[in-house]
Chains A and B, each alone.
Chain A
Amino acid sequence: MTLEGALVTPREFPTNRGGLCQKGWTSGALLSNPVRLTKPLLHGKPVSWDTALDFVAERIERIQGEHGRDGMAIFGGGGLTNEKAYALGKFARVALRTSQIDYNGRFCMSSAAAAGNKAFGVDRGMPFPVTDLDDADMILLVGANPAETMPPFMQHIKAGLIVVDPRRTATAERAMLHLKPAPGTDLALALGILHAVFSEGYAEQDYIEQRTHGFADAWRIAAAWWPERVERVTGVSATDQRAVARMLAKAKNAYILTARGTEQHASGTDTVNAWINLALALGLPGKPGSGYGCLTGQGNGQGGREHGQKADQLPGYRKIDDPEARAHVAGVWGVDPDSLPGPGRSAYELLDALGRPHGPKGLLVFGSNPVVSAPRATHVTERLKALDLLVVADFVPNETTALADVVLPVTQWAEEEGTLTSLEGRVLHRRPALRPPQEVRSDLEVLQELAIRLGSPAKAFPTIPEEVFDELAKASEGGIADYSGITYARLRDGEALHWPVPSREHPGTPRLFEDEFAHPDGKARFIPVDHKGPAEPPDDEFPLRATTGRVLAHYQSGAQTRRIDDLMKAVPESYVEVHPDTAERAGLTNGDMAKVESRRGEVQARVRCVPSMRPDTVFLPFHFPGENSANRLTNPALDPTSRMPEFKVCAVRLAPWGEA
């Protein structure tokens, strides 16, 4: 899009085709918003930058002196530019020398990342340009609601659409077939469809033999999940499972796409692998015009997870415990490889450890609002309060800045240069359009100032985005997400560069897997996965399943969108979608204020009776704070591989608000 003053107008671009939803149109309102943070705050009072930064540096030194390097922690965000994400990771490892860094992308796409790495040897959300979808005659969308979360994306869905979602969402309404599994049973559904594919003779035997490993072991599990058995677990009829198998198999070009509904489970990685197994059995990945992909959640969901703000990761999608990776990155950074810390705690584990005897005592937050967005939010809030030092860099006040000792006002999207990597692995250059308010600094400047105060040379933390990018490119050289051939100049020239781009002459890689997968032998892997079900199944005390998600008018924790009048007019408050009978049994009718309660907390929400809801399921959007925060309910049961919390299903009960 382009920007004049604070007015946004769309422009033609392959991913959105010139379309903007209400969030895009109104995004300019945030730039001139009166609540904008414009001065550093120390314990709530405006102070000079020097005062604020001196205070922070002094506290950091004291904490690390008393509690060791890991006494300090960093929490980043998937909305940060690649440059910021990279600089944040470097700041943690070089300036703070702490292992304790992770980010909110752990709550977003970590399961798909883990599953993609297992199956394909690489994690790039879409290993093909999004425009490839235009020619598909069948798309299976699992746990994705782009009609609300990414409306312009819907323009790429031109023919057949099958949607798997427990709710009849705006996306499901456009589908020719909508499967409504009970929340937490998607993995079983994938196994049932795989069973149907194989038993109806639709499996691509040649592809399986030539391009994959491990089918026999995966099949042995799927063999025990015949569609009639799956029906009993999921509520999706055996007939529909077979129909999906047939529709995908008969399509000339077919795609399977997954998103948060698939990933945000304690078995999220396995669940994504189950859908990848299905795609592999049908021979889709790497076949021209077909494939498997994952839809990103945040502005820089893809790039944000490639360059080192993840606990176990170094730039270029390198592993932090790989000696070669450490040597390479340490070389670029000019430090001793042995000085780099090892892997730290994952996002929820990090938040959960804050202020505990062996946990970090200080935390720097960049571009995230964990008070609203983390699972078991009440508990996370208590952990944040237990810190000796909480520093938050953001551009609008939010529920986390409200707890901070120090708030640092930083630039936002239209005020800064940087790159983002889109869901199709394409690196996009963002030019600044506006001057930031006078006292606002960029995150890169903040990191440099702090690094200097902590004893690093200024040149280790450049503040010009292009310089940071050039360093990032070097650090990523030879890694999985190799940006070494990308320059701002090439991006400014409008080149469409999809990583890996291993040299200045390399044209980029819009399509991975055409010839081989990224495992050393070039083959994809079937991962043998089995259905386990939700970590917290409903019982007599908490008989309903709650699931959470987004609405069109809001974004993430709502810190930005709740500041915009038009969006608040569209969706002013939290609500709970519930089947009319379930509401009635709880003594509620449409429009009443309800109390939704789980083992971890309770939430106030306006009742919306929705006849298409499953009677055993309620839905709450997670954009609202305080008493309305859906994450007061959610279960922090973690996926063993991705450490993703189980946002998408927990056991709850429903009652009128104000009732004991």
Chain B
Amino acid sequence: MSPRQIVIAGYGMAGSRLAEEILRRDPEGERVSLTILGEEQHLAYNRVLLSGVVAGTMKAENVTLHGQEWHDRVRLGVSVTEIDRDTRKVTLTDGSTIGYDTLVLATGSRSWIPPVEGLFPDAPGVHTFRTLDDCEGILAAARPGAPVAVLGGGLLGIEAARGLVGRGCQVTVVHPVGHLMERQLDQAGGKVLAKQLSTLGVEVKLDAKVNGYVPGDGLKLEDGLVPADMVVVTAGVKPEIDLAVKAGIAVDRGVLIDDCLRTSDPRIHAIGDCAQHPGTMAGLVQSAWEQADVLADLLTGKNVAKRYRGTPVVTRLKARDVDLAALGEVHVDTDAEDAEVLCLNDPTRGRYAKLVVKQDRVAGAIVIGAPDAAATITQLYDSRVPVPSDRLAVLLGRALPSEATPAGSPSELPGTALVCRCNSVTKAQLVTAWRAGATDVTDLASATRATTGCGSCRDAVCGIADWLSTTT
């Protein structure tokens, strides 16, 4: 029985992960013969960490996902130019063709450049922010003190801005909408974020109408110029669907896929940024990796009943000194009738927390500047565990004291209070022992064994002895 020929078009976050997952299930290549095609010259790298590379916390060589052995597994520097679905062949940029039993589109997405006069991908000073090469270009140009405009105040733009301001650039985020990260944040949340960024030295221009770009000068806005030696364009991405469109495969914004990650041609699958599944939002690594996991099960026959049902979307900003998480439905007012909405707004200290609860479950949340709450709420959202009834504690990220903290004075301590845990000794037992004649700490220790374990209750026992000696 010869293995099935599988061609993976794309070696980014989704394609490389799928290849790994298939190898893990079929290490000897008994079931599947893999051809992996990567357009870039690099071995797969972790795109999520690129903002760390820009910020300088990570070096380019440390974001590699695969070891050198992958040079033998992947064809780098080639991509698919055409799919012939009838003969099940793909044509590559080098003119060669490869037959397939199954084709997986993992072509990802490309940066979108808004239509602005003078703004082109290869115009001087213009950088997109998507690939390792982009990153190296940005770093080469990011001189301390230089003015930089970041066009687009979404997640990626803010991470880039935070990284560049950390490198000493004078950064302005230019955003066409009324508040930052408008897809994930409500207006108040966006304001807190903008304020936090300005504290760190990032200027933010909202509602910006960009009329043109002049290399050397900067971005011309309706109300003036944003000076920029460099413009980093983070205005969004477009799924790479040209191949699919040419081959007559059904697309919307991305290539349409079902729960088996199948396109309208059942011999062709799609995962990652180029794909569009009703259960998730494109552009997230979590979805891409979960899709790769399911597809590897299906393609290797490891678990043919496996299905992909979608990935709940959690947005987590990775920018030093800005802790932000956003998930689910957030554009809900506090007076909404079909939901409980809690909100705490402390812009002065860069904190904002909004929690939307429906039927006792987290439906959405924005958490800025409260990392514990972000972690807890994300888990409640993912696991669908009912939200604890102490909603305020959830919002603040820590349980409020549910019982009175032990009284400072021994006299106020209840008799049942456990003083020595190692030997299960309560205050009442110490008092009894005292009254029976054990009137100093040593005698109390021999009578009750308090303090004879780890010794951490020594101060408390001394306190009780002092109190008893003054009151009896």
Interfacial residues, chain A to chain B (CB-CB below 8 A): 10, 17-22, 25, 147-148, 151-155, 170, 174, 182, 198-201, 216-217, 219-220, 223-224, 226, 228-229, 231-232, 234-240, 538, 543, 552-553, 566, 569-570, 579-581, 584-585, 611-612, 615-616
Let me know if B423 and A25 touch, CB within 8 A. yes
Knowing that A18-B452, A579-B388 touch, tell me 17 more A-B residue pairs with CB under 8 angstroms. A19-B453, A20-B422, A20-B453, A25-B449, A155-B455, A199-B62, A223-B46, A223-B62, A224-B65, A235-B375, A239-B323, A240-B372, A538-B383, A581-B388, A585-B386, A615-B386, A615-B388
In contact, A237 and B49 (Cβ under 8 angstroms): no
Q: How many interface contacts (CB-CB < 8 Å) are there between A and B? A: 132
Given A154-B454, A220-B66, A182:B422 Cβ within 8 A: no
> Smallest distance from the beta carbon of B419 to chain A beta carbons, Å?
13
Contacts A201-B57, A223-B49, A232-B379 hold; do A21 and B422 have CB atoms under 8 A apart? Answer: yes
Q: Which of B46, B379, B388, B423 contacts A21 (CB 8 A)?
A: B423
The answer on a CB contact under 8 Å between A553 and B424 is: yes
Please measure, in the bound complex, the distance between the C-alpha atom of A587 and the C-alpha atom of B58, giving whole angstroms.
51
Compute how far the CA of A229 lies from the CA of B378 in the bound complex, rounded to whole angstroms: 11
Q: Which residues of A contact B62 (CB under 8 A)?
A: 198-199, 219, 223
**B382 located at the interface, meaning its Cβ lies under 8 Å from any Cβ of chain A in the complex:** yes
B48 CB contacts on chain A under 8 angstroms: 226, 229
Query: Shortest Cβ distance from B461 into chain A, in angstroms?
Result: 14
Q: How far is the CA of A587 from the CA of B426 in the complex (A)?
A: 32
Q: Tell me, yes or no, whether B302 is within 8 Å of chain A by CB.
A: no
Chain B residue contacts of A200, Cβ below 8 A: 57
A580 to B399 alpha-carbon distance, docked (Å): 12
- State how many angstroms separate the Cβ of A581 from the closest Cβ of chain B: 5
Bound Cα distance from A585 to B389, whole angstroms: 11
B402 CB within 8 Å of chain A:
yes
Residues of B within 8 A of A174 (CB): 456
Chain B residues lying within 8 Å of A226, measured Cβ to Cβ, are: 48-49, 52, 318
Are A235 and B371 touching (Cβ within 8 A)? no
Which residues from chain B contact A224 at a C-beta distance below 8 Å?
Answer: 46, 65
Q: Which partner residue on chain A sits nearest B379 by CB separation?
A: A235
Q: Is the CB of A151 within 8 A of B386?
A: no
Q: Nearest Cβ in chain A — how far from B427, in angstroms? A: 16
26 contacts between A and B (CB under 8 A): A19-B454, A147-B421, A147-B454, A151-B454, A152-B422, A154-B455, A199-B52, A199-B57, A200-B57, A217-B67, A220-B65, A228-B316, A229-B286, A232-B378, A232-B379, A232-B382, A235-B375, A235-B378, A238-B316, A238-B375, A569-B424, A585-B386, A615-B386, A615-B388, A616-B383, A616-B385
Q: How far, in angstroms, from A531 to B314 measured CA to CA in the complex?
A: 20
Chain A residues near B454 (CB-CB < 8 A):
19, 21, 147, 151-155
- CB pair B452–A19 under 8 Å, yes or no, is yes
8 Å CB contact of A19 from B371, B402, B422: B422
B63 at the interface (CB under 8 A from A): yes
**Min CB gap A27→B, angstroms:** 13
Instruction: Please indicate the chain B residues that have their CB under 8 angstroms from the CB of A20 in the complex.
Output: 422, 449, 452-453
Residues of A within 8 Å of B375, CB to CB, are 231, 234-238, 240
Contact A22 B424 (CB under 8 A): yes
Q: Shortest distance in angstroms between B385's beta carbon and chain A's nearest beta carbon?
A: 5
CB-based nearest B residue for A566? B424
Complex: chain B residue closest to A22, CB-CB = B423
B35 beta carbon closer than 8 Å to chain A: no
CB distance from B357 to the nearest CB of A (A): 13
Per the bound structure, the CA–CA distance linking A321 and B399 in Å amounts to 54
- Report the Cα distance A216→B49, complex, angstroms: 16
**Across the two chains, which residue of chain B brings its CB closest to A230?**
B375
CB distance from B116 to the nearest CB of A (A): 32
Q: A236 to B388, alpha carbons, bound, how many Å?
A: 17
Which of B40-55 touch A at CB < 8 Å?
Answer: 46, 48-49, 52
How distant is A599 from chain B, measured CB to nearest CB, in Å?
Answer: 19
CB distance from A17 to the nearest CB of B (A): 8
| A-B residue pairs, 4 tightest by C-beta | A239-B371, A154-B454, A237-B375, A237-B371
B-chain residues with CB within 8 Å of residue A232 when the two chains form the complex: 286, 314, 316, 378-379, 382
Does B33 reach chain A (CB closer than 8 Å)?
Answer: no
Q: Are B316 and A10 in contact (CB under 8 A)?
A: no
Residue B64 lies at the interface, judged by CB distance under 8 Å to chain A: yes
Q: Are B376 and A235 in contact (CB under 8 A)?
A: yes
Indicate with 1 or 0, residue by residue over B271-289, a CB within 8 angstroms of chain A CB atoms.
Answer: 0000000000000001000
Name the CB-closest residue of B to A179.
Answer: B375
* Binary flags per residue of B297-328, CB closer than 8 Å to A gives 1, else 0: 00000000000000000101010000100000
Interface status of B138 (Cβ within 8 A of chain A): no
Q: Which residues on the B side are within 8 Å of A238 (C-beta)?
A: 316, 323, 371, 375
**Among the interface residues B323, B379, B453, which one has the most CB atoms of the partner chain A within 10 A?**
B453
Tell me if B57 and A552 are in contact (CB < 8 A): no
Does B378 contact A231, Cβ atoms closer than 8 Å?
A: yes
Cβ–Cβ contact B63 & A223, under 8 A: yes
Contacts of B65 in A (CB 8 A): 220, 223-224
- Determine if A220 and B382 form an interchain contact, defined as CB atoms under 8 angstroms apart: no
- Asked whether B374 is an interface residue with its Cβ less than 8 Å from the other chain, the reply is yes
Contact B372 A170 (CB under 8 A): no
A579 CA to B388 CA, complexed, in Å: 9
Q: Which of B314, B383, B402, B422 contacts A151 (CB 8 A)?
A: B422
* Bound: A611/B388 CA distance, A: 10
Pick from A217, A231, A569: contact of B374, CB below 8 A: A231
Q: Which residues of A have CB within 8 Å of B49?
A: 199, 223, 226
Distance A151 CA – B66 CA, assembled complex (angstroms): 46
